[in-house]
Each structure stands twice: as C-alpha cells, then as structure tokens.
Amino acid sequence: MKALSLRELEAEAQRRLEPGAYDLFAGGADDEVTLRANENAFARLGLVPRVLRGRGRPQLETTLLGCRTSMPIVIAPTAFHRLAHPDGERATARAAAAAGAIMTVSMASTTAIEEIAEASAGGTLWFQLYLQPDLGFTEALIRRVEAAGCKALVVTVDSPVFGRRERDLRNGFTDLPSGLCCENMRPAGPGGTRGPARPIAFSEALSWEHIDWLRKSTSLPLVLKGLVHPADAKMALERGVDAVLVSNHGGRQLDTIPATLELLPPIAEAIGGRLPILLDGGIRRGTDIVKALALGANAVAIGRPVLWGLAAEGEAGVAHVLETLRSELERAMALCGCGSASDVGPELLHVSRWEKQCRTS
C-alpha cells in the first residue's frame, strides 16, 4: 500500500533503513529542540479560509531565479542519497525532472554532479556549496557545476563548524560505508581522472568578503541558505545576492534556533519584496506550504521527506513525495479559496486572542 502521507512514508523508510542511517537522516543537533520546533510551529498556526471566491483550480506554476517550476516546492540539498537507496541522487534527479521540480544537489552528494545532470536529462538543478577555504578548489568546483548545467548556487552559511549530532555519536556513525564518498570533493587528476575525495571543510573564517568573491567568480544566481536574522537579510540585500533561503538546517546546526516559520515575518519585512525568499524546515503537508507563503515565502524546500521517499522506493518514492505535496498544496489552496499564490496572504492566518494580547501588552 502506498503511504497516504509523508509521515507514513517516514515510518516505511524507518522500517527499511539501517537504524544508524535512519538516525543520521532523521536526527538533529544537541537536544533536537529546533528539529521539533520546525514541525510544531506549523501545527500551532491555524488557517482561516475564505469561501465563495470562485477562483477555479489553483495554479501552482512559478518561476524562481529564472527557472520555471511546476510548483513552489524545491528539493533541499541533503547529503548521501546512496545511503538511502542504491540509485541515490540519480533517482532523486529523475523524479524531480519528471515532476518539473527543481532539485538542489548537495555538495556532499554520493554521485558526481555530472552524473546527476545526465540522469536529470534537462530537469533544473541547483548546486549547494560549502565555501571551502581553499578558494582554488572552490573555483574549480564552481566551473564543474557550471559546465554540468546547474542554474544556481545555493551557498550554505549556517555551518562555520559542524553541529553536534548525538545520535550519530551514540551510533558510532562517523564515516560513510566503504564504496561511498562525496564525489564532488574529488579534485581533477591527470588525464581526466579524479583523485580521492577530500573532507568537506567547515570554516569559522568565512565572511561577507567571501560572498563578494563568489559574486565575482560566477554569473550564476546566488542563494544564501541558512539566514535566520533580519540584520543578515539586510546584509544579503546589500551584497547583491539573488535570493535567501530561511533555514536552520533542519535543526542540525545550532540547537534552540526557533522554528523557521516563526523567523520568517521579520525577514520578509527586511527584504521588503526585493528578493525571492525560500523557507525550509518541517514542511510535511500542503497546509504547511500555504502558511509559509502567507507569511512571505515565495517557495519552500523539503529535506528529509525526499530521503524517506528514496529509502522507501527509490525514484518512485521521491515521485510519490512530490506528487503527495503537490496535490495537498492544490487542495489546501482550493479549500482556502485561493486560485494562485497571489491569493495567499496573512488574512488566512489565525492570530489567537492571547497572542494579540501578548503583542499589545
């Protein structure tokens, strides 16, 4: 039987995965406060629909950074797809392309970007980058990514150091199993060969100057991933980036960051419509997407659900995730009286009486 919801799909994936791999995908940092907060925030915010607006079937197509997409749902970068399923990132890319959705390939993919691009066969790929202190290596990787046809660089800025994931420490999960590696981290060797994969470096020295350097190093649009402070959103505007992705890394980096949904309104205010805003963290239902759009996001990104689909059924599982969320979003918009994203606004959100009182007192 096909999973009816993304939550059912997670249960199916958990049955299929080694416990250590499940924990690696499911887990967060420290006490996992942020991990839980992301999903809970959606449940706490109510929707108050409009009726009798006669808007017809909701239209979900949209354009992000010049890329057409069938719906405002992007695949967030997640590492190690071949740990979820032997077909790995190729399967994800095929499912995304068939659904007309954008896939963000992780720098820590277990399949090389060129092979993912081949599997994607004309689908839209973005590439996620951890800026490496070795700028020569970073630049060579950017050239690789451009040559493979990726349409944007998603630069992750929330990881000056790696978060502490206690499930992995408890499970002794420190390395990928033999035969798997971060294929994009293999520098070019002589005669078209590739050397052994380098470890991904996390650097506390990264600064806005590196973003300026990146801006000059590529003509690809730049998305900053992992912004949660409105002051940083203003900096992003000044530095000429092309979009921001409001993210707390799915609760895997700094624990106790509030839910991304709660952090979105001040960021949307700071950006003031001048850049597209994406949000990730805890999106599991079509109604979650309506809430993110109502608070100012142009699109959302999904991380773990894609891994659950992949683990459960490979390409067909990822296709099922995308189709489930697409149809849930369409139904939720119809039930809210919305014919397109432009109908989705804060008037649909329920601000409880006690919240109003807290704000005014």
Ligand X SMILES: CCCCC(=O)C(=O)O
Indicate if the alpha-carbon torsion angle 216, 221, 226, 229 is positive or negative: positive
Query: Which of 300, 343 has the CB closer to ligand FMN?
Result: 300
* Ranges within 174-233 binding ligand FMN (CB under 6 A): 225
Comparison of 43 and 161: residue with beta carbon closer to ligand X:
161
CB 139 within 8 Å of CB 112? no
In the list ligand FMN, ligand X, none, the entry touching 200 (Cβ below 5 to 8 angstroms by class) is ligand X
* Burial track 200-214 (b if 16+ CB lie within 10 A, e otherwise): bebeeebeeebbeeb
Q: Does 88 bind ligand FMN (CB under 6 A)?
A: no
Residues 63-82 that bind ligand X (CB under 6 A): 79
- Residue 97, both tokens: 């392309």
CA separation for the pair 220, 142 (Å, rounded): 9
Residue 108 engages ligand X in binding (rule: CB under 6 A): yes
Q: Which amino acid is at 337?
A: G
Contact set for ligand FMN, span 20-79 (CB under 6 A): 25, 38, 76-79
Alpha helices (H) in 47-103, listed in sequence order: 81-84, 88-99
Grouping H, G, I as helix, E, B as strand and the rest as coil, residue 80 is: coil
Start-to-end Cα distance in the chain: 52
Does position 252 bind ligand X by CB under 6 A? Answer: yes
> In the range 15-34, which residues lie near ligand X by CB under 6 A?
none
With contacts defined by CB under 6 A, name the span among 136-144, 212-220, 247-255, 328-336 that binds ligand FMN.
Answer: 247-255
Instruction: Figure out which of the listed residues 58, 282, 286, 317 binds ligand FMN, where binding follows CB under 6 A.
Output: 282
- What beta strand segments (E) does 130-172 contain? 153-156
φ, ψ for residue 278, nearest 5 deg: -110, 155
**Residues 85, 249, 320, 350: which is the catalytic one?**
249
Of 106, 120, 184, 298, the one binding ligand FMN (CB under 6 A) is 106
* CA proximity to 288, closest of 7, 104, 41: 41
Our answer to whether residue 320 is catalytic in this structure is no
Tokens read off for 232? 């940083």
Check residue 185 for interaction with ligand X (CB under 6 A). Answer: no
Question: Which C-beta is closer to ligand X: that of 200 or that of 235?
Answer: 200
* CA 16 to the chain's CA centroid: 23
176 binds ligand X (CB under 6 A): no
Chain residues that interact with ligand X, rule: CB under 6 A: 79, 108, 200, 249, 252
Chain residues that interact with ligand FMN, rule: CB under 6 A: 25, 38, 76-79, 106, 108, 128, 156, 225, 247, 249-250, 252, 280-283, 302-304
Active site residues: 249
